Structure 1
Amino acid sequence: MTKEIAKLVVVKPVLGYKKKSHLEKWGFTKTNGEWSKEGTVEELKKFWDEIDVYKRPIMIEKHTTKSYSKEYAWDAGMYSTTQRKYVHNDYDLDFYLQV
């Protein structure tokens, strides 16, 4: 039984070091200006399901911590806000499977 070799290609160009580092971490390589990953059809479909934006988006969290001012007689408590940024979504990274 032979396994069919396929290629998963990123459709839209990837800009920014964060998306580039994620693609490199996932095993994508850039050849002729095109980001792609090679493997069997089953492996690539399974990988595509794992990184599907609707199922599990990848987020980078930026923590901002602020404290209340003591000179205004407020409590010295602290609160934290978290800004979440989606590394990729359907508008940034689209894939197609080339068999």
Structure 2
Amino acid sequence: MTFAWYAHLRELQHKPWLVAALISWGIALFEYLLQVPANRLGYGPLSLAQLKVMQEIIALSVFVPFAVFYMRQPLRLDYLWAALCLVGAAYFIFRG
């Protein structure tokens, strides 16, 4: 979803917002076609909260390289603090 949500800021900034929205929706549709079956397979062995925390961990793991390498944003220490918060979230949601 990272690419669908943010790539248009760099690649389509001179296009009308409707064009950017339609292209982003097309990318998001492909990603949803993967995400929905994965959630359906995972729900049961994993709780809804566990699926959500995993999704956030995956999202941050994808977002940081995307922001640094594709969007050319500076690597910030805040990414580390966010990752540590997610480590804590994973610990609490998966313990026991």
Q: TM-score, normalised by structure 2?
A: 0.28
Flag the structure with more relative contact order, 1 or 2, with Cα contacts below 8 A and sequence separation at least 6: 1
Structure with the bigger percentage of helix = 2
Structure with the bigger percentage of strand = 1
Larger radius of gyration: 1
Q: TM-score, normalised by structure 1?
A: 0.27
